[in-house]
Structure 1
């Protein structure tokens, strides 16, 4: 039963109660209307509170179409008749719409949470506020694993509304929710419903899934918009729908999105814990054999992983993580990735029919370094890779250069292009001023210096050919 049906049933029940009540009919109807109006007022207040902080996001992306090769005989046909062979376009611009909401304003920048699929591969991003003003947006960082992205717009001294973040771990099935977004370009559309389920996974939408399911109407264009509770607090990011189905919408829990946002702002990438095991859910028959109700089966342990170093073995059934029960594969994955790398945890397993407690030091999930490269490209328009001995030899880098980052790509018109960086340059040191230049050995080194420099720009010491030059990399306005 959806919310509208629930309200109709509720109103009908109250009306019938009034008919058979000993109180006067007129008095009963007044009370009935007061109850319904109080519920209506709640929805109105939430919309008035949240709607101003919801934004419309429009993007322009470039899509490359790979046409099949044209046989020579067809090319000759055009040539024989004196016509030039027609050029078939391989790149097309596509436009799309999405939603987002302002979560933070700092140093003249307004930060907006949305979905990764709304802004991924976008060449241009424009954000329209509820007052009609339009701004060019920049990507702060993205996380494809959870389909969360953080973008920002330069608002200067302008006061812009900000949403209030809720706690998605405390929500319950059956609670009222309100979705706000821009479905089919219909700006700032409001729908309502209830939380239909929590912890939905296995949908094949994201690598990491722990969705809130709702029957609030969500359509294309709602992606990235907020899902709010009746207090006007955002508890999720509307993300996906099931095609040709009614009442099946899914949202990323705000607690997951908040961690992504905090990591992107603090580290320039998403930091996740890593165990290093292949796992699968325990079947009912297997659970019965091992005498457990729930857990996950370890099918393989990666060499030199935290799991191997901690003593985990294939065939173990993990039943507890730091004293908390492990329900299924998704539950364990979320527990691990939300653990800070370097932290020691206790993992309880069933091995040979006996309980065994292992101490495992959680590692950092491989692949987070690549997000730092994406961050450099999205913010400053250039990408790099570490200087290896093999590259030093192939590129004939001066012998005195022991470490650094090779610039592998520079986008035209970007901050890096304006600064004078070129492909093949080697960044060997960076700092806010000449006095505090320090060696750059990794992308993390460079990102931390850039973050420290802030709006003042960062000084780069660059090896180009046999010589050394200095360039100033300024953040884009």
Structure 2
């Protein structure tokens, strides 16, 4: 064994005592029934990994994967420092859409005291790596509790590759260190004894390919969650397309460098920076891009870091300088980094946060990406219709379940109908629909759908909902 490997192994053994197993009782989110009818919840138990994170002067805070803590009702942790004792933890916050797959939990004050009293030694707090990202071929150790093992597991490997982020995803490191179910949420550490990233996932049907969420993203998420903010990254605030030599005369460029702005979203970063469609973005904060949007320079030589990766690592609110080409002339502009403007159709993966109205034999919910995906399992044609609406600025209401023998069933309303009017009044939210029903002066109400289908329903009592529970 070489000196370097021996050193990394010793560091991993020391840091192993800061890694914990996370035990969760909650609801199984993948169940299609519970997506289409939120009153149905399927209980389950699962486990993952996490680690005590060194951050300012905080004690008892643990980083894990969001998919481990998402839809949890009860969370406990166990550690090799405390035998098989379990300690209650609370969820501080998480990235609901799993991009990146990061959550922050903490031991309750009472349980932290009990943990420290029982522990064989002081808690090992692990420090997140900062600055330059690891290089391809750099040795790492992944630590966690794979497959529900009751002792932590250490696997060795290297950073083998990088996966660039996109408009919707964050960058990931690729490793050949073994990462298995249950191992996710644990740290991958380097020879400096720092956490290079969070073990996140393994690719099914591939050998020795695992993914790590970079420490830089984890740090941004922790800061957001400690401020009790919904964690978001800065985004471009528009649509981009690749440049090409064919555009040289049209764009008055000498060669194809930088990416073309094809669309500017209202109230987004590009709009704030006074960027227009057909401008060519050459650099952000002096980081230059080629025609594919890939970073030019030494970092770009060894990995495909792109314009989205660069933008996401600018803290929201900090000024970002953008250099662009317009009509053959180079311009500079500045604007605060910000998230993309909210659209009407969003992701809503947390079961306890799903809002619904039960009326006329239907379950009606705000349309979300999870509902679109679930409806695909039932009716692919309905999913195609729903996908046409995802760029809407306003929310949409969708019928996700029909009870047999009810008014909606007798009218043969199909799954996936999108309600847009009640008694000729536009409705975009459950509150608006509920108000129209409750204030209706007649004993019947006319509902109209996006595709023109109508329904005439007899009002029989107040609609049932969970709106008050979630307000």
Match of 2:264 in 1: 301
Looking at structure 1, the residues matched to 113 and 172 of structure 2 have their Cα atoms a distance apart, in angstroms, of 35
TM-score of the aligned structures, taking structure 2 as reference length? 0.61
> Cα gap change, 1:194/1:301 in structure 2, threshold over 3 Å: closer, same or farther?
same
Match of 2:405 in 1: none
Match of 1:314 in 2: 277
Looking at structure 2, the residues matched to 279 and 39 of structure 1 have their Cα atoms a distance apart, in angstroms, of 44
Deviation at 1:266, TM superposition (A): 2.7
Match of 1:47 in 2: 12
> Cα gap change, 1:225/1:302 in structure 2, threshold over 3 Å: closer, same or farther?
same
Within the candidate set 240, 244, 268, 1:279 is matched to: 240
Looking at structure 2, the residues matched to 118 and 308 of structure 1 have their Cα atoms a distance apart, in angstroms, of 37
Match of 1:223 in 2: 184
Match of 1:156 in 2: 113
Looking at structure 2, the residues matched to 374 and 220 of structure 1 have their Cα atoms a distance apart, in angstroms, of 20
Looking at structure 2, the residues matched to 101 and 305 of structure 1 have their Cα atoms a distance apart, in angstroms, of 36
4+ residue stretches of structure 1 with deviation over 6 A? Answer: 105-108
**Are the counterparts in 1 of residues 173 and 213 from structure 2 also a CA contact under 8 Å?**
yes
3-state DSSP of counterpart to 1:165: coil
3-state DSSP of counterpart to 2:155: strand
Match of 1:33 in 2: none
**Residues 301-450 of structure 1 aligned to structure 2 (within 5 Å):** 301-326=264-289, 328=293, 331-366=306-341, 409-410=468-469
1:167 paired with 2:167, answer no
Match of 2:153 in 1: 189
> Cα gap change, 1:361/1:235 in structure 2, threshold over 3 Å: closer, same or farther?
closer
Looking at structure 1, the residues matched to 248 and 18 of structure 2 have their Cα atoms a distance apart, in angstroms, of 48
Residue ranges of structure 1 left out of the alignment (5+ in a row): 1-35, 69-88, 379-389, 397-406, 412-422, 424-477
Match of 1:234 in 2: 195
Looking at structure 2, the residues matched to 152 and 200 of structure 1 have their Cα atoms a distance apart, in angstroms, of 31
**Cα deviations across residues 16-60 of structure 1 (Å, max 9, x unaligned)?**
xxxxxxxxxxxxxxxxxxxx3534521331222110000111212
Looking at structure 2, the residues matched to 106 and 354 of structure 1 have their Cα atoms a distance apart, in angstroms, of 46
Looking at structure 2, the residues matched to 50 and 293 of structure 1 have their Cα atoms a distance apart, in angstroms, of 48
1:92 paired with 2:67, answer no
**Are the counterparts in 2 of residues 51 and 188 from structure 1 also a CA contact under 8 Å?**
yes
**Cα deviations across residues 133-177 of structure 1 (Å, max 9, x unaligned)?**
311221101123311110111312714221132236342111111
**Are the counterparts in 2 of residues 298 and 313 from structure 1 also a CA contact under 8 Å?**
yes
- How many pairs align? 330
Within the candidate set 36, 60, 81, 1:110 is matched to: 60
**Are the counterparts in 2 of residues 109 and 156 from structure 1 also a CA contact under 8 Å?**
no
1:130 paired with 2:83, answer no
> Cα gap change, 1:344/1:156 in structure 2, threshold over 3 Å: closer, same or farther?
same
**Are the counterparts in 2 of residues 114 and 225 from structure 1 also a CA contact under 8 Å?**
yes
Q: Which has the higher helix share?
A: 1
Looking at structure 2, the residues matched to 293 and 262 of structure 1 have their Cα atoms a distance apart, in angstroms, of 38
Q: Which has the higher strand share?
A: 1
Looking at structure 1, the residues matched to 57 and 128 of structure 2 have their Cα atoms a distance apart, in angstroms, of 20
> Cα gap change, 1:224/1:304 in structure 2, threshold over 3 Å: closer, same or farther?
closer
Residue ranges of structure 2 left out of the alignment (5+ in a row): 117-121, 295-304, 354-430, 439-465
**Cα deviations across residues 286-312 of structure 1 (Å, max 9, x unaligned)?**
689844465322110113434234321
3-state DSSP of counterpart to 2:113: coil
TM-score of the aligned structures, taking structure 1 as reference length? 0.60
Which structure has the larger Rg over C-alpha atoms? 1
**Are the counterparts in 2 of residues 107 and 156 from structure 1 also a CA contact under 8 Å?**
no
3-state DSSP of counterpart to 1:164: coil
Looking at structure 2, the residues matched to 170 and 314 of structure 1 have their Cα atoms a distance apart, in angstroms, of 33
> Cα gap change, 1:361/1:227 in structure 2, threshold over 3 Å: closer, same or farther?
closer
3-state DSSP of counterpart to 2:53: strand
Within the candidate set 252, 258, 269, 2:230 is matched to: 269
Deviation at 1:118, TM superposition (A): 1.2
Higher normalized contact order (CA 8 Å, seq sep 6+, divided by chain length): 2
**Are the counterparts in 1 of residues 267 and 341 from structure 2 also a CA contact under 8 Å?**
no
Looking at structure 1, the residues matched to 160 and 248 of structure 2 have their Cα atoms a distance apart, in angstroms, of 28
**Are the counterparts in 2 of residues 200 and 211 from structure 1 also a CA contact under 8 Å?**
yes
Within the candidate set 55, 60, 66, 2:25 is matched to: 60
**Cα deviations across residues 70-113 of structure 1 (Å, max 9, x unaligned)?**
xxxxxxxxxxxxxxxxxxx9543222221111004899951111
Q: CA RMSD in A?
A: 3.9
> Cα gap change, 1:282/1:98 in structure 2, threshold over 3 Å: closer, same or farther?
farther
**Are the counterparts in 1 of residues 165 and 308 from structure 2 also a CA contact under 8 Å?**
no
Looking at structure 2, the residues matched to 195 and 246 of structure 1 have their Cα atoms a distance apart, in angstroms, of 15
Looking at structure 1, the residues matched to 189 and 228 of structure 2 have their Cα atoms a distance apart, in angstroms, of 28
